[in-house]
Chain A
Amino acid sequence: DQQVKQNSPSLSVQEGRISILNCDYTNSMFDYFLWYKKYPAEGPTFLISISSIKDKNEDGRFTVFLNKSAKHLSLHIVPSQPGDSAVYFCAASVTSGTYKYIFGTGTRLKVLA
């Protein structure tokens, strides 16, 4: 039972354009969401997060949008840069009574110069 889904295994975008990575979840109890970026042979690094009390969080070129009614979140990268080429994972958690995160399967982003 995949509670967090990233249905696009890969995405290619031209440098300077917007990258949109999507994530869907099934558990309505999730109330905290994160995006991680992973380069080859390295561990994931935290990118941006959002609490369920918000519908948008922005940090520089990165913005995460949360649509609770659709159980959907997205990560927007504007403008995309070649250094953004990596695998992006979304993760979700229920913050009350647990410290566990459920990860999606990842989307490989390639930014073309």
Chain B
Amino acid sequence: NAGVTQTPKFRILKIGQSMTLQCAQDMNHNYMYWYRQDPGMGLKLIYYSVGAGITDKGEVPNGYNVSRSTTEDFPLRLELAAPSQTSVYFCASGQGLNQPQHFGDGTRLSIL
């Protein structure tokens, strides 16, 4: 039972490069989320989706884009990487209201 799978686990980017962080879940959850966690901080919501084709901004969306073409996948795109985007990124999925989220193990991203 895979749950939420994130790839890659680690990545180093140069300033200005772009990349896509992959997230897939096999629990048939409608709701999916992307968070970033900076050192000593809590999780900040970047984007979320309540179903295929529906996405919305969270607290810190600038510099990121998302798409949700299927229930299973919710990729996060960084178009022009900046040092401020160095962080650990977590993807999560859930069944909705009053339900806990299930998290992947994270992608540690460094931008130099």
Question: With A43-B4, A43-B90, A43-B104 given, is the CB distance from A103 to B96 under 8 Å?
Answer: no
User: Which chain B residues border A44 with CB–CB below 8 Å?
Assistant: 43, 90, 103
Q: Does B50 contact A (CB under 8 A)?
A: yes
Question: With A43-B90, A46-B100 given, is the CB distance from A103 to B105 under 8 Å?
Answer: no
Taking a contact as CB atoms under 8 Å apart, the answer to whether B42 and A41 are in contact is no
Sampled A-B contacts (25; CB under 8 Å): A4-B42, A6-B42, A9-B40, A32-B98, A36-B103, A42-B106, A43-B4, A43-B90, A43-B105, A44-B90, A44-B103, A46-B100, A46-B101, A49-B100, A51-B98, A89-B42, A95-B97, A99-B31, A99-B48, A99-B97, A100-B45, A103-B35, A103-B42, A103-B43, A103-B44
